[in-house]
Amino acid sequence: MSDQDFDIDDIERRMKGSVTVLGEEFGGLRTGRASASLLEPITVEAYGSQMPMAQVGTIGVPESRMLSVQVWDKTLVAAVDKAIRTSSLGLNPIVDGQTVRVPIPELNEERRQELSKVAGQYAEQARIAARNVRRDGMEQLKRLEKDGGMGQDEHKAWAEEVQELTDKTIESIDQLLAAKEEEIMQV
């Protein structure tokens, strides 16, 4: 079989992509500790378009329960404040000159359980993405076998490899979820 017929590396790359996206989504999930990645997904109305927070200021973590955004352009301070307030994070920023300080409140038990459920939903979406990649790979293998591009034995060997990749990816997702749930439930 030629490498152009079936690309296992592409399938592996796509599966790893689902794990990477999950890690980014988990980074934006609040745990009660300040993390610069908490504000990174927020976009700010600046210069007539939506810009990521990191492109309008420097995000810092001066204390364990405090974030700060050093806004580069004075005219954007109000926009940064508004973007943080209207985000779904439930944070109340404090404007201090060109710096926007964002205190991170303690999480109560109910909110921790809610966040844990959200983390579970993110993980399930990642699992679904990995399974979709597996399905695409399996369909590609069936087409190749049907068109005479490979034999049954070769098809079976590639199918086992695709399933092995899927199992490893799902295991990685489950490990990430367990670590995030532990972090969320930590008091």
Which of 43, 76, 103 delimits the end of a domain? 103
3 belongs to a structural domain: no
Which of 103, 126, 156 delimits the end of a domain? 103
- Say if residue 113 is in the same domain as residue 22: yes
Does the pTM of the predicted model rise above 0.85?
A: no
79 belongs to a structural domain: yes
Q: What CATH number does the domain containing 47 carry?
A: 3.30.1360.40
Q: What CATH number does the domain containing 145 carry?
A: 1.10.132.20
Dist. CA 44–CA 5, nearest whole Å = 45
- Say if residue 22 is in the same domain as residue 112: yes
Largest CA distance in the chain: 70
Residue 13 near residue 139, CB atoms below 8 Å: no
157 belongs to a structural domain: yes
Nearest Cα to 116, choosing from 186, 20, 46?
186
Pure H helices in 8-151: 8-27, 77-86, 109-146
- Full pLDDT tens readout for the chain, 187 residues: 444 478 889 999 999 999 998 888 887 776 666 777 778 778 899 888 998 888 999 999 888 888 899 999 999 999 999 998 887 677 889 998 889 999 887 778 877 887 888 888 889 999 999 999 999 999 999 998 888 888 888 889 999 999 999 999 999 999 999 998 888 887 6
**How many domains does one find in the chain?**
2
- Say if residue 17 is in the same domain as residue 38: no
User: Which pLDDT belongs to residue 1?
Assistant: 40
- Say if residue 82 is in the same domain as residue 123: no
Residue 39 near residue 59, CB atoms below 8 Å: yes
Domain that holds residue 151: 8-26+108-185
Nearest Cα to 30, choosing from 21, 19, 18, 42?
42
Which of 103, 118, 136 delimits the end of a domain? 103
What is the phi/psi pair of residue 63, to 5°?
-140, 170
2 belongs to a structural domain: no
Residue 145 near residue 72, CB atoms below 8 Å: no
> Cβ atoms within 10 A of the Cβ of 10, count?
13
Residue 45 pairs in a beta bridge with 50
63 belongs to a structural domain: yes
DSSP label of 32: S
98 belongs to a structural domain: yes
User: Which pLDDT belongs to residue 91?
Assistant: 81
Dist. CA 183–CA 180, nearest whole Å = 5
Q: C-alpha 7: how far from its chain's center? A: 25
- Say if residue 73 is in the same domain as residue 87: yes
